[in-house]
Chain A
């Protein structure tokens, strides 16, 4: 899919503005436009965290990430579905759906992130009986053979179902092509993350984040163009280095923080050098093999993955204790910000284990809760600012 090549490379500002427009757009205009370009095109949504987008892509869908309405959506109908002690994300997702903003989706995938998303899959079946709904139980068992076998079966079943919806039965070559595109996407994201780690002043997290959010509503091929353009723009327009602390932010892998929160943290003197924002887009840490059966390869890649996260069972008894130390050392960070959405079981239940491991390793930590529609950032600014100062004054890990 070719995007029109501009006469000159896009500037950083232009790319960020383009990304911001897509981020702000709660009507999914870009998706609707894509659908209108050819008859018979379909769009398939997925909730956080991990969904096998390659399958959607191969079956002819545009994969669309559903990340709620953030702080830009007034919740009226959504609150009628959820009590006050459940996180905010499903409310805004229901609000988007009930207000017709998701009516362009022919399929929605619900990964096994937590019980709230799990139950939402059942609600969706009742609310939208004409939409294909599948709950994706990712394999959790540490035994790779059993897990891979199970997962391959799930992927096969999913692909079969998606093909029926789209009317396009992909060949193995189609699958490999889709896997290749997403391999590239993951690689470019790793490059961006590495660049940010090396020169965080040149890759502000606000910009990186907007770019990634844009990537959730456009074809991966277009994202690749833009991401590479951004990398080039970063080279062409470097920023001044500041004396900021380097922090890892963890816990925001599902319900996303408002952009203002990310900005507040950066402005308070922190460079975010690693995070788990939109973790699903780089869930597989290594390239998926294009040899042999593509679904088997995809299944194996998931099962043999190195990523450790709250939504997957940790088979290693020492795993949780060590995890933050590993992440901090890989990112050459000074400290950790545990940022969890209110009422988020995965993030909040993991936190004590992760934090005690970090503190035992002498890593400075702070923690706070947010929701996707947190309205005022004063307290986050203060906390992050104090944290950053204290790290600089008294040293890091």
Chain B
């Protein structure tokens, strides 16, 4: 395999991100409008069709976590009166804001011209943007994505979303950008999105192979970065996913495993499914605990928060607004608990997993409330034991290495003992 091809997707991603933040830094002087929104239910194609640049505070927060800045930001927010009990993403963002609003790439983040509050699967989003609205004193538009309480997108709920898009969101974007809604531009971007999604799904499903050429959690978190943030519906995004797809195909053909921070994981002893977001502050340490035991993650639910594409959904340029509603409704955080269990069970079966791990994060009630029940239900339905560990998104105080390592090691030994018992 040529070195150029192997590194190409990583290089592309680095370039994309760097140029995006550079552009954001210059946005005020270039009069490029900036729209803040959330990863679940992000309407990037729509935002960009207005010539605006998207900013995703969640991604800023997780990047701050990975760069070990979040501890200080959270402390700052708590000094300002925020409770220790609430979501660390919000506190990290407020702290970052109050500390000069220097983003994770070291450049200053522009103020929002509009807060597009996509209320998709997380109550805290509402409070987050109410807080940011006070900080920035800027317009906000509320996009209510009804929760799939009964496990389906109800026609009336779809109508409600379409109406909001037509009557609230699009007019708000028009006001914030000074441009008219351009449906054709939107359609073009939706077509590009669908193309990227095809490639992404191929990458995700490559993990069905043994050995898996990807890590479906730690590695995939990098892979979904572009499509969950500013690059779905862009030509650069398509280029990235095409390159990634080729690389992964090559790895699979060569029988190679994913590249981890400790080197390639070709000898894979355990195939796992993971539920829950990762701990960003201890990302590498956490990954290492898996890789050291020869454990590769073959599928995860967290990598679907910005959209669930591997069960058939694609952005459809022929129904521009309807497809946005469908997309938003299907994001993982908007699915009801029974559907989440179904997804986990399906992944365990389709990807032939040996076990599953639930990482329960203190910050996120949307994910965490009910995970103990998910643990038991999935065990019941698949007959496979699950591991349950607790940490946090970006609050470094809540990652206890000894605690987590102990539980994971015990879990792997348990799986091994079961295997031996089955062959005995």
Within the complex, are A and B direct neighbours (CB within 8 Å)?
yes
Tell me, rounded to whole Å, the shortest Cβ–Cβ distance linking B413 to chain A. Answer: 24
- Contact digits for A363-395, partner B, Cβ 8 Å, 1 yes 0 no: 000000100000000000000000000000000
Does B338 contact A344, Cβ atoms closer than 8 Å? no
B123 at the interface (CB under 8 A from A): yes
B206 at the interface (CB under 8 A from A): no
Interface residues on B, range: 35 or more
Does A119 contact B124, Cβ atoms closer than 8 Å? no
CA–CA, A340 to B119, complex, Å? 23
Interface residues on A, range: 35 or more
Total number of residue pairs linking A and B with CB closer than 8 Å:
154
- Contact digits for B129-146, partner A, Cβ 8 Å, 1 yes 0 no: 011011001001010101
Tell me, rounded to whole Å, the shortest Cβ–Cβ distance linking B163 to chain A. Answer: 5
A115 at the interface (CB under 8 A from B): yes
Does A82 contact B372, Cβ atoms closer than 8 Å? yes
Does B134 contact A140, Cβ atoms closer than 8 Å? no
B105 at the interface (CB under 8 A from A): no
Given A349-B90, A353-B134: A140 and B368 within 8 A (CB)?
no
- CB neighbours (8 Å) of A110 from chain B are 149
Instruction: Mark the stretch among A120-128, A217-225, A291-299 that contacts chain B.
Output: A120-128
Does B365 contact A345, Cβ atoms closer than 8 Å? yes
Picked from B85, B87, B156, B336, the residue with its CB within 8 Å of the CB of A121 is B336
Does A81 contact B373, Cβ atoms closer than 8 Å? yes
| Residues of A129-170 contacting chain B, CB below 8 A | 134-135, 137, 139-143, 145-146, 149-150, 153-154, 157
Tell me, rounded to whole Å, the shortest Cβ–Cβ distance linking A123 to chain B. Answer: 5
- CB neighbours (8 Å) of A314 from chain B are 130
Tell me, rounded to whole Å, the shortest Cβ–Cβ distance linking A313 to chain B. Answer: 5
Given A112-B147, A126-B337, A317-B134: A146 and B370 within 8 A (CB)?
no
B81 at the interface (CB under 8 A from A): yes
Does A83 contact B131, Cβ atoms closer than 8 Å? no
- CB neighbours (8 Å) of A116 from chain B are 365, 369
- CB neighbours (8 Å) of A86 from chain B are 365, 368-369
Nearest neighbor of A346 in chain B, beta-carbon distance: B123
- CB neighbours (8 Å) of A126 from chain B are 337-338, 341, 373, 377
Picked from B90, B137, B149, B362, the residue with its CB within 8 Å of the CB of A135 is B149
Does B130 contact A320, Cβ atoms closer than 8 Å? yes
Tell me, rounded to whole Å, the shortest Cβ–Cβ distance linking A197 to chain B. Answer: 28
- CB neighbours (8 Å) of A315 from chain B are 142
- CB neighbours (8 Å) of B370 from chain A are 81, 119-120, 122-123
CA–CA, A153 to B159, complex, Å? 11
CA–CA, A118 to B119, complex, Å? 14
B284 at the interface (CB under 8 A from A): no
Given A125-B338, A146-B160: A83 and B85 within 8 A (CB)?
no
Does A352 contact B124, Cβ atoms closer than 8 Å? no
Picked from A85, A135, A355, the residue with its CB within 8 Å of the CB of B147 is A135
Between-chain CB contacts (< 8 Å), 21 pairs? A115-B369, A119-B366, A120-B370, A121-B149, A122-B338, A126-B337, A137-B146, A140-B144, A149-B160, A150-B160, A153-B160, A157-B156, A314-B130, A317-B137, A321-B134, A345-B123, A348-B82, A348-B83, A349-B124, A353-B134, A369-B83
**4 smallest beta-carbon distances between A and B, as pairs:** A122-B337, A135-B149, A349-B127, A348-B83
* Given A126-B377, A135-B149, A313-B126, 16 new contacts (CB under 8 A): A83-B360, A86-B365, A112-B123, A122-B340, A125-B336, A125-B337, A126-B341, A135-B150, A141-B144, A150-B156, A154-B156, A317-B133, A348-B82, A350-B127, A352-B81, A356-B81
